[in-house]
Chain A
Amino acid sequence: MLRFVVRRLLVAALTLVVISLVTFGLFFAVPSSPAKVMCGKNCTAEDIAQVERRLGIDQPLPRQYADFVHGVFAGRTYGEGDFRQDCPAPCLGYSFRNNQPVTEIVAQRAPVTFSIVLGGAVLWLGLGVSLGMVSALRRGTAFDRAAIGVTLAGASMQVYFFGLILLYLLVYSTGLLPFPSYTPLTESPLRWAAGLLLPWMTLGFLNSALYARLSRAQMLETLSEDFVRTARAKGLPARKVHTRHALRAAITPIVTIAGLDIGTSLGGTFITETIFGLQGLGKATVEAVQFLNLPVVMATVLLAAVFIVVANIVVDVLYAVIDPRVRLS
């Protein structure tokens, strides 16, 4: 088990290095210089050169990358003399836009996205898996057909459509819910939940479609397994047969997809954040890309990669927890 974890961590580190290199490289393939963007229209070539020097982007690319990595692990210093700026580790640089430390931006934005995704995930997993399970047990009935129809509708709708409908129905026309906003959980759990209910419902309904279909198919498969017949032959009540025996065996692929889904979403849910006016990582990333704000882009892209890599490891570990046959090999 230890060797397995160590190997996975090494692969994860390598993945992150490659992703950071590619992001770095891609960014410099863009034909416009961030110094020009920052400096404005009336800048002379000299001004631009000065800004470039200050940002450190006049250096050769490998050197810049090395500085960046050094900054992450040991901190770095920008500029000199009066413009000297010490950036302690983990230094992700300063926003080209307003000179805010990137770590601070991430620290502000990440909790918003986390809250949206985790709340949404609870809803979409709960709703999706239970809907799929009941559909499978009532296969062919009106309930099954209705559930499949609704989830098909859910799967084909988009956040910007469904989210806006909910926004109109629940906020503008009836006032049942406040306009979405982010209050830190530590400040007021109630306001935190109330402000995020709308994005949760949106993500919950839309994503549950996939989970309902997946868990329905998985349940139907395990329900025809011999061990389910054995469980019934023992005289177990139907409820226990369905949950403890059938669902338990059906859960593995659901865990895989859920892990990757959550990992991916944690990197940013741009559309959801934009519709509901929440300042999350997704919005930060898109804005940074539009502004060629390299330090912020680097940070958010890397962070997203970290989430996906970690989610993968978590899924692997969960596999071993769920299936004893995995533990041996």
Chain B
Amino acid sequence: MVELPAPRRGEGPYLRVRDLRVRFDTEDGVVRAVDGVSFAVERGRTLGIVGESGSGKSVTSLAILGLHNAKRTTISGEIWVGGRQLVGLGEEEVRRLRGRDMAMIFQDPLSALHPYYSVGRQIAEAYRVHHPRAGRREARTRAVDMLDRVGIPQPAKRFDQYPHEFSGGMRQRAMIAMALVNDPDLLIADEPTTALDVTVQAQILDLLSDLQEEFRSAIVLITHDLGVVSQVADDVLVMYGGRAVEHGSVERVLRAPQHPYTWGLLSSVPSLHGDADADLVPIPGNPPSLINLPPGCAFHPRCRWADVNGDRSRTEVPELVAAGAAGHLVACHLPVAARERIYRDEVAQVGVAR
């Protein structure tokens, strides 16, 4: 048995990530999937991590849980979960934390649940891994109780059904029940509503916030949907090309976004209050290659304002620096005054920002 240091309670953020770097060695070269990202989440708070596919948001979450293939992945930096540093910790120690102190919900509950086992059995299994002394009956009772708490009707009957007999929303509820069965302090939800239709999306998000109040867990919500972020998150981290480009409270980042990439994301989302006839503005170009990231600011090839500062954006990687309000950080070479003027005059008319 490996002794784990007792979790520290009540001091500072439950999850703290500092200068996280994740690299994969592939045949084509080294993929820098995450390149120096830092953030923290307190218990009872929700951090939304936003970005396109390949921005490094899922890689970050898998790194926290230690789910990357150790042979092909190099992780450096610090990941503190409840006072324990996970980077460099042995697989066995991290395994004991997985599912108990930190749990994860995946995007597609149909493929994330084992097709050959009943839903209840999979939840009970998650309970029994970390409660080796619990009997079959106790685990079943606990699983049925969890199914009930995530709003699945007739939980005792549903326990014995298989994933394919559940609807999409019910499946995601079951996934959530499985993640919460051990009362984790940290819940990572990787695009939990992307595979669901819109009405079910809202229910699942409501459920997550209700459960958060009940369990007081820290939640990291990974999404590409700013609407979801504005609905449930307290803080936002915007990622691009494996780096953080903007970080702050939801209020600040969505109301007064500072980074041109965030502007782009906001302009590509329809707003209920905006002009119904106005066209959405997509971000031109494609996400960058993580093997061969553009020099300087990784976003510069797609940025309309990249030339405002001479060629600084093309040569120098921008640091994440304070942008006005407390805790609001941005990584952009545009002078503060220029950013504010551009946002006011050119960007703010569209999107969820208003």
Contact = CB atoms under 8 A, between A and B. Distances in A.
A295 B272 CA distance: 84
Given A249-B115, A324-B116, A234 B125 contact: yes
Interface string B81-113: 000000000010001111110011010100111
A328 B163 CA distance: 13
Interface string B114-132: 1110100000011001100
A243 interface: no
A236 B98 CA distance: 8
Interface string B123-147: 0011001100000000000000000
B164 interface: yes
Interface stretch (A62-70, A223-231, A262-270): A223-231
A234 B116 contact: no
Interface residues of B, number: 27
B96 A249 contact: no
By Cβ-Cβ distance, the 5 closest A-B pairs, closest first, are: A235-B99, A235-B98, A226-B111, A234-B99, A227-B114
24 contacts: A225-B111, A226-B106, A226-B108, A226-B112, A227-B111, A227-B112, A229-B67, A230-B106, A230-B178, A232-B67, A233-B99, A233-B103, A233-B106, A235-B98, A236-B125, A236-B129, A237-B129, A238-B91, A249-B115, A249-B116, A324-B118, A324-B164, A325-B162, A328-B164
B65 interface: yes
Interface string B306-318: 0000000000000
A324 B106 contact: no
Given A226-B108, A325-B162, A233 B115 contact: no
Contacts of B91: 238
Interface string B246-276: 0000000000000000000000000000000
Interface in B309-332: none
Given A227-B112, A227-B113, A232 B164 contact: no
Given A236-B99, A325-B164, 11 more contacts: A226-B108, A227-B115, A231-B114, A232-B67, A235-B97, A235-B99, A235-B100, A235-B126, A237-B129, A324-B115, A324-B116
Given A226-B106, A233-B98, A234-B178, A248 B129 contact: no
A230 B129 contact: no
Contacts of A328: 164
B126 A323 contact: no
Contacts of B96: 235
B114 A234 contact: no
A272 B312 CA distance: 78
B65 A233 contact: yes
Interface string A306-329: 000000000000000011110010
A245 B164 CA distance: 17
A225 to B, nearest CB: 7
A190 to B, nearest CB: 39
A231 to B, nearest CB: 7
Q: Which of A227, A229, A235, A324 has the most CB of B within 10 A?
A: A235
